[in-house]
Structure 1
Amino acid sequence: MPTIFIAGDSTAARKGGGEWPMAGWGEFLAQHVAPGVHVENRAINGRSTRSFLAEGRLADIEQDFHSGDLLLIQFGHNDQKIEDPLRYTDPQTEYRHNLRSFIDSARNLGGYPVLLTSVSRRRFTPEGEPDPEAVGLYPQAAREVAGATGTPLLDIFAASQQLFRRLGAGDSAQLFMHLPPGSRPNYPDGVTDDTHFSQFGAQQIAALVAEALKQTGTWQELFPGNTI
């Protein structure tokens, strides 16, 4: 059975105990896979495609990656940070080039790259709709790279926005880190964070990822039963 590797940022990454109840969706993907399928979550807080590559983290994945394995690739949030030259990438140029580097890496090793659009931030328009620009131009860039390279695409930006729409502007807050002051000793002042997930939110996004993988028709056997 293959290993599913995750290359990404804090929306997918495993969190330390001091960050609880914050979670990344990659922590819960293993709940959906068939026996014998291993999930190797290599997503890291705060990374963009640029910094992930520059730190040699893709090279580290390559050391453990085998023919037939999957590489899930999800970035965009930190690539947006134009104020940080170590992380920022232009969505029309460098971001696309970097995504192709991940794709080529998996294919060169006999595996299967899978592009994910950035999971959406919780941001609503004045009309009460999820903001289509919540992660800027990066989701569309990923769609276009997937099309140009023939890479399977999981449109998690669209799927997460559908989830937010279904829950509404109020109830969707439960997916994210919204804590009042004094409710957790590690967040004494409380927190209102519409990018990083609560345990519940990470579980919901993991289910969306598993269902999207199943719906490709290629890896149905890896995800038995209902995912959502």
Structure 2
Amino acid sequence: MTSIYLAGGSTVCSRQRSMAPMAGWGQTLPLFLQGVEVVNCARDGAGTKSFMERGHLGWILENIKPEDLLVVSFGLSDTEERPGPHAEPFGAFQTNLRRYVNEARDRGAHPVLVTSHERRVFDRFGNMRRPLVMHPAAMREVAVELTVPLIDLNEWSTGWWRQLGPDGTKSLFVHLAPGEHPNYPRGAADDSHLRSHGALECSRFIASQLLVQGMLPAQFFRNLETGFDADQVVEFLDDAVFDQMTKTRVAGGMK
């Protein structure tokens, strides 16, 4: 069976029940695929560098097979001014992306680059800002340089966020009033991470692009035009299962 390995950070990773309704697009991607295995190795807070240092890329490379896909989506944590995940867009970030691409190709697998969806940032006049613009631009440059398929989720999401505006986008992100959800009794105002509906529509776009760009045969796709009630169809991992997967999906086994 063909496998799709996902390497990425917090906007991609599958979330545990204690984090619901926050969801990553890698969590909802299987709703649009069939006959193919989605192996979501993305981790909260991971950047291109820390994902490698923690052994997650190594685990993927130990398991990936010829003709599998390695879908790489970073950029959110790489922008942060913290020593672990930070990577300059036209420096270390691009160098790291080249390694992901080349390591996948060395194993006969097919790399795919996906830009991070944009953050929800509007000024007081309702104009949308683009804090992630440099890292998606750097990823596009690597895609051209190495002739790698690119799915521009950043550009697509920017158009959607602008259409909905500062109020409409709150329903896509983890904006919750106090008492609205038991996992967030004090409420939440997260402008970086999506709720189930936002994640689901991002994964629908990504699956559509995998089809349109010919990265997988048509028989592997389903539900691309199907309307979903995200609260009913999006599944969350049991917390114990999530913790076990986080510990074991590193190079060489449990660490």
The verdict on a shared fold, with TM-score over 0.5 as the criterion, is yes
Alpha-carbon spacing, 1:226–1:16, altered in 2? closer, same or farther (3 Å): closer
Is residue 2:122 matched to residue 1:124?
Answer: yes
* Distance in 1, Cα, partners of 2:28 & 2:40: 10
* Distance in 1, Cα, partners of 2:193 & 2:106: 33
Contact map agreement 2:31 2:222 (CA 8 A) in 1: no
What does 1:16-31 correspond to in 2, within 5 Å? 16-31=16-31
* Distance in 2, Cα, partners of 1:209 & 1:168: 22
Corresponding position of 2:198: 201
Amino acid of the residue matched to residue 37 of structure 2?
H
Query: Secondary structure of the residue that 2:50 maps to in structure 1?
Result: helix
More moved, 92-101 vs 216-225: 216-225
* Distance in 2, Cα, partners of 1:10 & 1:86: 15
* Distance in 2, Cα, partners of 1:31 & 1:61: 22
Greater relative contact order structure (CA < 8 Å, 6+ sep): 2
Q: CA RMSD in A?
A: 1.5
Is residue 2:163 matched to residue 1:153?
Answer: no
Contact map agreement 1:15 1:24 (CA 8 A) in 2: yes
Which residue of 176, 179, 185 maps to 1:182? 179
- Structure 1 alignment gaps of length 5 or more: none
Amino acid of the residue matched to residue 193 of structure 1?
D
Q: Of Structure 1 and Structure 2, which has the larger fraction of its residues in helix? A: 2
Corresponding position of 1:40: 39
- Structure 2 alignment gaps of length 5 or more: 227-255
Which residue of 201, 207, 212 maps to 1:210? 207
Shift of 1:224: 4.1
* Distance in 2, Cα, partners of 1:218 & 1:46: 28
Query: Secondary structure of the residue that 1:144 maps to in structure 2?
Result: helix
Contact map agreement 1:117 1:154 (CA 8 A) in 2: yes
Shift of 1:52: 0.3
Which residue of 159, 162, 187 maps to 1:162? 159
* Distance in 2, Cα, partners of 1:101 & 1:139: 17
Cα deviation, 1:124-144, whole Å, max 9, x if unaligned, reads: 35564432x321410000000
Query: Secondary structure of the residue that 1:196 maps to in structure 2?
Result: strand
Q: TM-score, normalised by structure 1?
A: 0.93
Q: TM-score, normalised by structure 2?
A: 0.84
Cα deviation, 1:34-69, whole Å, max 9, x if unaligned, reads: 3x2111111000000010011111000011100000
More moved, 167-176 vs 4-13: 167-176
* Distance in 1, Cα, partners of 2:52 & 2:94: 13
Contact map agreement 1:79 1:89 (CA 8 A) in 2: yes
Corresponding position of 1:71: 70
**Aligned residues with identical type, % of pairs:** 36
* Distance in 2, Cα, partners of 1:56 & 1:117: 22
Contact map agreement 1:32 1:227 (CA 8 A) in 2: no
Query: Secondary structure of the residue that 2:214 maps to in structure 1?
Result: coil
Cα deviation, 1:163-193, whole Å, max 9, x if unaligned, reads: 2123222212111101001122221110011
Shift of 1:70: 0.3
Amino acid of the residue matched to residue 8 of structure 1?
G
Amino acid of the residue matched to residue 78 of structure 1?
S
Alpha-carbon spacing, 1:227–1:141, altered in 2? closer, same or farther (3 Å): farther
